[in-house]
Each structure stands twice: as C-alpha cells, then as structure tokens.
Structure 1
Amino acid sequence: MALSNTATPIYYGRFREAVIRGEIPVCREVSMEMNRIDDLIANPGIYYDDKAVEGFVKFCENELTLTDGGDLKLLDSFKLWAEEIFGWYYFVDRSIYVPNPGGHGGHYERKRIKKRLITKQYLIIPRGAAKTMYDAFIQSYFLTVDVSTTQQCTTAPTMKQAEEVLSPIRTALARSKGPLLKFMTEGSLQNTTGAKADRVKLASTKKGIENFLTNSLLEVRPMTIDKLQGRRDRVATVDEWLSCDIREDPISALEQGASKNEDYLIVATSSEGTVRNGCGDTIKMELMDILKGEYINPHVSIWYYKLDSIDEVTNPDMWLKANPNLGQTVSYETYQLDVERAEKAPGSRNDILAKRFNIPMEGYTYFFPYEETLPHRHRDYWQMPCALGADLSQGDDFCAFTFLFPMANGFFGVKTRDYITSYTLSKLPQAMRQKYDQFMQEGTLQVFDGTVLDMMQVYDDLDNFIQQNDYDVRCFGYDPYNAKDFVERWCTENAPFGVEKVIQGAKTESVPLGELKKLSEQRKLLFDEALMQFAMGNCIALEDTNGNRKLLKRRSDQKIDAVAAMMDAYIAWKMNREAFE
C-alpha cells in the first residue's frame, strides 16, 4: 500500500477492534489517545505509510534478540507504539537552492518534502512491561538502518540504569542472528591499518555503540541539563524520568538540541513514581492537557497506562489497563503476590500501587504511611490551652508554627500556620505552585512580600492569629537556629516561663518522634489542614544502628517544617505538663 490519507493503521485497527469487542480493557488516558489517532485518520493532510512500520518489525524480528540471546517476537503493544512513530507523515513546501549544471549560479525551486509527524513519544507504563527493550529496539533500528551520520543518546537517573538500553543491543551484536548484523560485525575491531573490508562495521566500544560505516554513535549520558543541552541527537531515549527525584526537565533540554535535525525522535519511557511535585508531575500536567484536547500538539504520542481507580486493584480482569504486556513480559502471579504484600505490609503499599498499577502515590518508605496522613474532620480549639512549636529555619525559606492542644484520652488537636516570601513562591515549579495555592486558600500559608522574611512581621501576624482564635499558649518550644530575635521578643511580651529550647538531632528527637508515631498510628493526632497532611507525607526519619531516629531534612523543597514544629511543641508540652493540669 502506498501513502494514504484515509487508511486506518493496521496494528491500531486490530487494537481498536479488540477494545470495542471488550477483549482489552483500557483506561481513560489510553482512550483519549485513541481519539487523537482517530483524528489523525480523519485528517486529510496527514498520511499513513505501512511500509515503514513493517520494515521496523522485520528488522527487530530478523536481526535482534532478547537480552538472554533468545529469538525475538515483537509484542503487539510494541507494534502499536512503533506504528504511531513510523506510520504518520505530512508534507511541507520548501524553497530549495538548485545550482546550475555548469556550476556557476543557480536558482530556487519549491519542492514538497515528506516529514515524519511524531517527534516525541511518552510511554508511562508500570514495572515489568519491557519499556527498556522498546528503547533498545528504536535505538538499534536508527543506528543500523539509517544511512546518514547520526548522534544518538540514552539517559536515565543513573549511568548504570542507562546502560540497560545498550545491553540488548550488545547481545544482538554478539549473536548476530540476521544477515545485516552478520555483515556489520564481520572482521576485527583491532584491524585499523589493513583493508577496510576486514574491519568490523558495528561494534560496542568504550564510547558506546559505534557504526563505523556512517560514523554514527549511540552513547550514554547522565540525566542533567548541563550534560544534555546543546547536543544534536537524532534519536534520544529517556528512561525512568518519573521514578527519580529530578527538579529539571531533561526532555526539554534534549529536544532543544535535537530540533537542529529535520526528523528527530525522543522516546521517554517511565513507570509512575512516588516523588510528587517534581518536574515529572509538571510534564504530566502538560501531557494531560494534550490528551484532553486543551492543547493541540499532533507531534506528541502519549501512551499512559494506569488503573482508573484504586478499587480496580482487587480485580485482576482490570490489570491489563495498567500493563498491556501482562502475561507476556510479567506474570499475573507476580502482580498477585505484590497485591497481597501491599495488603499485609502498609509501608510498601504506596510503592506497589505506583510501580505496578501506575496510580500516583505520595512517598514510599516515609515515616507516616498514607493512611496516617489523611486529614480528620474540621475542629476549632477556641480558648483551649496549647503548646506552641516553632521551626524558623532560614529567613528566605519556610517558617512554621504548630499548635498542639492536649485533649482527653491522649488525643492531641493540631493546627499549623506557616510563612514564606513572595520570592520563594515565584521560584516554585508549576505542580508545586498549585499545591501552595491550595494552602494559601485554606489560610494555613501566609505569603509576605520580599526576599527574606522579617521576623518581627511574622511575630505580629502570629500574635494576631493567636488573639483572633483565643488560643491559650502555655509553653513554647523552638529550634534555636535563626530564632534569637523572635524568642527574645516572645520572652519580653509573654514571660520566659514555659519557653524550651529544642536542639535538633537524634539525642532529643528520637523519643518524641517514636511517641508521635504511636499517636499517629492510633489516629490521635487530630489535624484537619492540607498543609499538615503535605508535611507529614514528606517526612523521612533517619534511623541509626541503635534505633535512634531523627527527622531527615533531605531537601529544602520537601517541606517537613510543620512536623518539626509539632515535635518542638510536643517536647515543650512534656517538659511543662503541670501547666496543663
């Protein structure tokens, strides 16, 4: 079949029929992508070519092998994804300079040029769906079949992880199963001065994988913007960009360099991560806008597999929504064991839901599991006695105050009030900014103009807040870092009675952290604010060999200050318990 602007793609057509018949369940995001492909079929300006797709399938099955060297039969899902990359084309008119036959002078002619439509493909699929193999197939296809000199790269959070893309290609070179790779690997790599016919044409070297016929190179790069920008990669693959804790967008950096080429391709594969509010979430928000049709970008292909609801985890018939290769690259038994483990070991639950079912969860081996961070119903503590904890930290950062209200039967009411500057707010990534807007709406986060917080302004605002709510503050625990001016004014205006200094470290934190954890497990910390939920969800506790624990302030943007302030308030309450009798 030649180019057609009305034909339905072969593998997509089969997939769509299976979905309509009810054989393959699909999630909302995949059905949105199917609508986008249906739009491409209906668009008279975009053409489908089946030969390019079949060429890729034949190359993979005839030349490449599995990682263990076994014969390769391309999965239906791989054909579906590759068809969207290789199947769609459009034409553009260009003015091209044509020199005269004599070599002197020339003239411009308008020519129609055929261009590949898809330049970026995002695959968000759970663990065990052979995403890395798909990356390897795309890279090896362009490295051997493309006759132009290309620069290609693969990147992942660690260099060793990125090497996994090269591993199947090296196995295929060692086995050289098909006629093309047999020819390309004939000869010796050491033969540098003899006949060119006796030299190897495609080999794995210390640079990466090199094609000596075209001088093309596939190399591994670290996932940082300064190592990725300015390159001119024809093909780039990004692995596990959602699973790691990155604050910068490696895909945009690659795209800026790759766009120097006419027909570039970036394939970004990942399973869902447990790190929220980073760069990955911001990219996902843009992808969802494209899927919903709010932002039209036909050059991007998005396959986002996940369960529509957490209730579907218990229904094995729905697991295909999350992993289209279930039963082929990973067994149902593996999934069943993980589901049972998630029920029995709550600490691993979030990680399993994110990695196996692509349900975005917050935190994995965090101090407070997900169930303990769910807020309680709203309460007011008008005229009740309380302990106040303060975590003032840097003047340009978060400044947190938490009120702890001792109640009957060992329950504690919790309220928090936090302060940041407008400069700190302006530097936040988009996904994080939305979170902060929510805190500002509920009134727990106050934003002051400027670059550095004025502690006296913070004091005045907090004093007004206490008076408005008529809180009876009977003791005050504070972390001494950057707290001198604030504490001196507090002692002057409220007397030094009940003011306790809490030095951060395992020595002072271990016991109160353990006690707060027990209260949290019994749901005796009665908090009703999203900011407190967010801070508890970010808490990681470092534990030494003796079992002593202290809060890990791993990064300045993972806010745990409200929990640190709660711990200071708890310590102050313990040291002044007689004031509450």
Structure 2
Amino acid sequence: MSIQKYVDDYIQLYETGQIKLNEERILLIQFIQRNITNNDQVYFNDDLIENCIAFGEKWYFPLTAFQKFLIAFVFLFWKKNNRVVFRKFLLMLGRGGGKNGLITVISNFLISELHGIEDYNISIVANSEEQAKTSVDEAYKCVKKHEVLQRAFKATLTKVVSKKTNSIFTFRTSNGGTKDGLRDGAVIFDEIHQYEDNKDVRVHISGLGKKPNPREFYIGTDGYVREGFLDKQKEKAMKVLKGEARWNSLFPFICKLDDESEANNPDLWEKANPMLCEPRSDYAQGLFDTIHEEYEELEDDPSNFEEFMTKRMNLPKVDLEKSVATWEEIEATNREMPELQHKECIGCLDFASIRDFAACGLLFRDEAENYIFKAHSFVRKEFVDKHYAYSKKTSDNVKNQKKVAPIREWEEQGLLSVIDAPTIDPRTIVQWFVEMREHYMIKKIVADNFRMEVLRPVFEEEGFEVEIIKNPRAIHSLLAPRIETAFANHQIIFGSNPMMRWYTNNILVVIDKRGNKEYQKKEPVKRKTDGFQAFVHGMYRADEISVGVDFFLDDIDF
C-alpha cells in the first residue's frame, strides 16, 4: 500500500535489493509500515515536501533517495490539528554522508516564505564554533552566489535572515549557561557524540513551543563518549523501533555497520553511509575512493582503526580499552638483537615507585627502521616475595603466582635485579646507565618528572644530559600511531626478553571522548608496566638517534 512517493521509492529500493540497509533501518521500515502506512490520523504535506526538495535541488545540490525520504517525515502532520507528528529526529551517518548539507537545505527552507511561518528561528548548536557554523556558512555562500536568493534572504557570516518571514538561521556553541529564553522554531544539535549529558540540550530547547511545529534535529556520527547523551538517544531509538516506547517520540535514522567484520567488504559500506549506494554521484564516488584509501592505509597504520570504525563505519568499539598490540605482534619482538656495541641510543627509565619496580632501558634504531630496546629492571625483594612468591618454592598458590611473573627465572636470565632493601636506591639506577655507557653512546636520559627531583642531580653528577617529560600522559596519544604501527610491522626488537613482553601485554590502551589514547595498567598491582613506559619515554626522542654511526673513545677529542 502506498505511503508517500519518496517513502515508497526508498522502501522499494531496499525490497528490490538495490540498496543495503543495516538492522536499524530495516526496523525503521517495519516501524513505518506498522505505525504510518494505514494510519488515517496522519498525512504527508506533499506541497511542502515537493517545495523543500525543489528548493534544495535548485539552489544547493541534487538530493539522493534517502535525503528525500527524510524530508518527507519532516512534513508529516496530524490531521486533527496540523501539528508535526515527529518533533525529534535522530540522524546518524558515517562521516561524509551529507548530514550537514541536508540540514542546511531543510533549515534554509524552513525559515523561508515557502514554509510560511513568521519568526521561525533556527539555531544550530555544536561544541565548537567552527562546527556549529558549518551549515550557516554553507547557506551564506549559497545566498551570496545567487541574486534571486539575495532578494529573499539577507545573509552574513553569522546568520541568514528571511526578508518575508523575519526568520533567522544562526549558530551557537553548546555553552548552555547563557541561552535561556530563546524563541526558536527548531534547534539542531550537531556532533552529538561529544555531549556527556543533556544539560546543554535542555537549555537550548527550553524556548521551543512558542512557535508552531517545533522541531529538534540531533545529527552526527558516533564517538568515544560512552553512557553519555548519544548512547541514551540510541537506546531510546531502539525502543521506538521495537514498539517499546511512544512511536512518535523520535524519528531515528541510524546508518552503521551491523558487525565489525563488514568493514572488510566495501560493498557493505553503504550500510554506514547511504551516500555510497549505487549509482554514485561524482561526490559519492570521490568519497568512496577516499574511504577506500583510508581502509588500505590501515594495514600500515593500524592505529587509525578505531577512528575509521567510529567515524567512517559509525560503529565504535563498545569496549574502547584494549591492548597496545596483539599477542602475535608482541611475540614478534622476540628477535635476535643486532650488534649494538658503540651505537648511539637514548637512555630512558620509569621509576614511578621506589618500593616495587623500576625499569631502565636503552633505545636504538637501525637502517631497517627497527626500534631496538635493551632493558633491565630493578625490583624490591619484599614486593616480589608478596606478589610473585619469589622466595617460596612449593604449593599450588606459589605456582599460580609464578605464572603471573616468574621473577626468579627472569633474574637468572639477567633481565632484572632483586634489591633486598626498604627502597630502590636512585644511585643503583644511575649506576646501571654508567655501566652501559662503557659500551654504548647514550645521548641523553629521558624520563617523566616523577622522582626526578632525586634522580636528576645524581645523573648530572655522572655527566648525563637529562630531559624530563613534564606531562607523560600527553605524549601517549602523540606516540600511539608510531608505536602501534611499529608493532604491526614487526619493527620492534626486545630480543630474548620475556619480561618486556610481559610489561607490554599488561598495557591497557584507554581512549577518551576526544579519541586521545593513554597507556594504563590492565591490573593495578601485579601486572606491572614499567618497562613499557620506559620504552615510551625513549620513543619520545627516537628521532634524535643517529642511525648507522659508531662511536669510539678514540674519536673524542679530550
């Protein structure tokens, strides 16, 4: 049975196999057929729909089937009072899917005389001014380009005003504290993945309802904030689609992959981005080519995987905490150390606690772009006795503790030194570097600022240059692409050092709401990470290491 021309067309594209839909959009079709198809209490205003589409295609760009489908529901009304059926719209598409372009068309039309409601002001809200003004800037440029539009609208860099209706299209940032009392007809919230709660949303929509047919549009791609505003909207969307909430409380149009594995099939990318459906426009083909290049680059730069899945495929990993590398990649560090005698290197250490572990290391590079890390750890006997049964020899509990970290075995291999003292003496750390200096050219010592008020004078007494990283967390996100790519390409060599592989496997990569990565511990006490953190400190200055140059005492002019 016919629903509405553009709605019928879109559903037919799916039913005839011309487009591929994800689960949420399949549920949306069923939702429409269940609640709207035979509902004699609602109607589509075809005049407004046709005028909006014609307006968009004449002044902006050709509209695709999914965009026309969405416009139809903007102008779905109750017969009894001519009020809009859907006040709230949730539009989620992969990056590049034309969300902002569609919103620009709809907004420009709604403030115009073609819509015909006076003072129907529209605000677009985002966390940053740059993002918020995207659609307003697009409308401004469109008006300035066409003389006919200049007779209908007055456009500046901050707002577009209809001369007939006096309606204003403008932008705001999401600093909700100063936005009380607005009299908008519609509000658009962009990049909603960044909202931690609905506090700012409530402020911006508080003025709605003072004009007829108020609308709220929530648009964006998924992000890294979990259990925030967007997750609650997605949860509500599923309840609406499954009939567990009032059917017209939200119109959800959610495009995403159904499963992570689908990212490996470009034919399925249109699930996340309907702009990629065949036949493609020049813009859509260019977008597809760009996404395909990004996908191919993941092989060499896997650190962008989360960004690709979240922003392009609109499918963030629910668990954004993960290991720094796969175990296979960590195992690949078990390669024979090249000859390092007299080679230049960066000394590095992590000395977060003087009562349990401290890790020292030397970072080298070679002509094959490998990062070679020679490491040694110092551990307190009392700590390893308590947590790893270092001194005990029997019982199942001891076996289990030794499985966590076989300290005595690693000691026998020369990978660590056990210190039987109340604390690890800073001079013990410095002395290790003094001994290493007899064999290698140590350019400088790099460490974070923790305990360095004690260590730095001792290092400088021995003639070492010391660089202190004042904000070690900040460098994690900076170095993550290089480190993860190096692991993926098997460019890291720890040699026969199972302790370094243990340190590395204990790392938890935590991604914050802005996509920044931080290297933390998977478990706070027994799964230590000191050696890996020392390696990170060395990587911070890896570019300063000369490659292919030997240093001998005879070369130095005393």
Tell me the TM-score normalized by structure 2: 0.61
Partner of 1:361: 317
2:146 paired residue among 161, 176, 189: 176
CA–CA distance in structure 2, aligned partners of residues 164 and 232 of structure 1: 22
CA–CA distance in structure 1, aligned partners of residues 95 and 119 of structure 2: 34
The answer to whether residue 97 in structure 2 is matched with residue 141 in structure 1 is no
Matches within 5 A, 1:85-484: 85-86=74-75, 88-91=76-79, 112-145=80-113, 146-176=116-146, 181=149, 183-184=151-152, 202-205=153-156, 207-242=158-193, 244=194, 246=196, 250-326=200-276, 327-328=280-281, 329-331=283-285, 332-361=288-317, 369=324, 371=326
2:33 paired residue among 25, 30, 38: 38
CA–CA distance in structure 1, aligned partners of residues 173 and 267 of structure 2: 39
CA RMSD of aligned residues (A): 5.0
Q: In the alignment, residue 344 of structure 1 is paired with which amino acid?
A: D
CA–CA distance in structure 2, aligned partners of residues 375 and 256 of structure 1: 53
Preserved contact between residue 521 and residue 528 of structure 2 (Cα < 8 Å):
no
The SS at the match of 2:270 is helix
CA–CA distance in structure 1, aligned partners of residues 328 and 213 of structure 2: 48
Preserved contact between residue 305 and residue 323 of structure 1 (Cα < 8 Å):
yes
State the 1:235 CA deviation.
1.4
State the 1:356 CA deviation.
1.6
231 and 336 in structure 1: CA distance in 2 versus 1, 3 angstrom threshold = same
Partner of 1:49: 45
The SS at the match of 1:118 is coil
Cα deviation 1:351-383 (Å, max 9, x = unaligned): 12222211213799x99657579999xxxxxxx
State the 1:29 CA deviation.
0.9
CA–CA distance in structure 2, aligned partners of residues 306 and 289 of structure 1: 17
Cα deviation 1:427-454 (Å, max 9, x = unaligned): xxxxxxxxxxxxxxxxxxxxxxxxxxxx
Partner of 1:25: 20
State the 1:249 CA deviation.
5.3
CA–CA distance in structure 2, aligned partners of residues 374 and 234 of structure 1: 55
311 and 554 in structure 1: CA distance in 2 versus 1, 3 angstrom threshold = closer
465 and 13 in structure 1: CA distance in 2 versus 1, 3 angstrom threshold = farther
Preserved contact between residue 6 and residue 65 of structure 2 (Cα < 8 Å):
yes
State the 1:8 CA deviation.
0.8
Preserved contact between residue 235 and residue 265 of structure 1 (Cα < 8 Å):
yes
CA–CA distance in structure 1, aligned partners of residues 173 and 219 of structure 2: 16
The answer to whether residue 496 in structure 2 is matched with residue 496 in structure 1 is no
Preserved contact between residue 124 and residue 171 of structure 2 (Cα < 8 Å):
yes
Partner of 1:15: 10
State the 1:291 CA deviation.
2.6
State the 1:322 CA deviation.
1.6
State the 1:134 CA deviation.
0.7
Partner of 1:537: 510
CA–CA distance in structure 2, aligned partners of residues 324 and 553 of structure 1: 25
CA–CA distance in structure 2, aligned partners of residues 308 and 222 of structure 1: 33
The SS at the match of 1:344 is coil
User: Which has the larger displacement, 149-158 or 518-527?
Assistant: 518-527
212 and 182 in structure 1: CA distance in 2 versus 1, 3 angstrom threshold = closer
Preserved contact between residue 274 and residue 350 of structure 1 (Cα < 8 Å):
no
Preserved contact between residue 255 and residue 273 of structure 2 (Cα < 8 Å):
yes
499 and 78 in structure 1: CA distance in 2 versus 1, 3 angstrom threshold = farther
Cα deviation 1:205-231 (Å, max 9, x = unaligned): 365222344332222100233244542
Cα deviation 1:524-573 (Å, max 9, x = unaligned): 756999xx77x523389xxxxxxxxxxx9989xx9947688766755999
CA–CA distance in structure 2, aligned partners of residues 142 and 134 of structure 1: 12
117 and 148 in structure 1: CA distance in 2 versus 1, 3 angstrom threshold = same
Preserved contact between residue 176 and residue 182 of structure 1 (Cα < 8 Å):
yes
How many residues are aligned here? Answer: 412
156 and 569 in structure 1: CA distance in 2 versus 1, 3 angstrom threshold = same
State the 1:339 CA deviation.
1.5
CA–CA distance in structure 2, aligned partners of residues 154 and 74 of structure 1: 21
State the 1:344 CA deviation.
2.2
The SS at the match of 1:536 is strand
25 and 44 in structure 1: CA distance in 2 versus 1, 3 angstrom threshold = same
The SS at the match of 2:275 is coil
State the 1:165 CA deviation.
0.3
570 and 245 in structure 1: CA distance in 2 versus 1, 3 angstrom threshold = farther
State the 1:113 CA deviation.
1.9
Partner of 1:431: none
Preserved contact between residue 155 and residue 162 of structure 1 (Cα < 8 Å):
yes
State the 1:282 CA deviation.
3.3
State the 1:158 CA deviation.
1.5
CA–CA distance in structure 2, aligned partners of residues 137 and 320 of structure 1: 22
362 and 249 in structure 1: CA distance in 2 versus 1, 3 angstrom threshold = farther
CA–CA distance in structure 1, aligned partners of residues 25 and 272 of structure 2: 10
State the 1:203 CA deviation.
0.9
Tell me the TM-score normalized by structure 1: 0.58
The SS at the match of 1:81 is helix
Q: In the alignment, residue 119 of structure 1 is paired with which amino acid?
A: R
CA–CA distance in structure 2, aligned partners of residues 152 and 14 of structure 1: 30
The SS at the match of 1:318 is helix
Cα deviation 1:214-265 (Å, max 9, x = unaligned): 33222210023324454232112222222x4755554444333324444111
Q: In the alignment, residue 335 of structure 1 is paired with which amino acid?
A: I
Preserved contact between residue 225 and residue 248 of structure 1 (Cα < 8 Å):
no
176 and 539 in structure 1: CA distance in 2 versus 1, 3 angstrom threshold = closer
Identity over aligned pairs, percent: 18
Partner of 1:443: none
CA–CA distance in structure 2, aligned partners of residues 553 and 177 of structure 1: 43
Q: In the alignment, residue 9 of structure 1 is paired with which amino acid?
A: Q
Structure 1 regions of 5+ residues with no counterpart? 1-5, 66-71, 92-111, 185-201, 377-388, 392-400, 405-409, 413-462, 475-493, 541-551, 575-581
Cα deviation 1:73-92 (Å, max 9, x = unaligned): 22222101111111x2224x
State the 1:137 CA deviation.
0.7
State the 1:157 CA deviation.
2.6
Preserved contact between residue 503 and residue 530 of structure 2 (Cα < 8 Å):
no
Partner of 2:369: none
Preserved contact between residue 238 and residue 267 of structure 1 (Cα < 8 Å):
yes
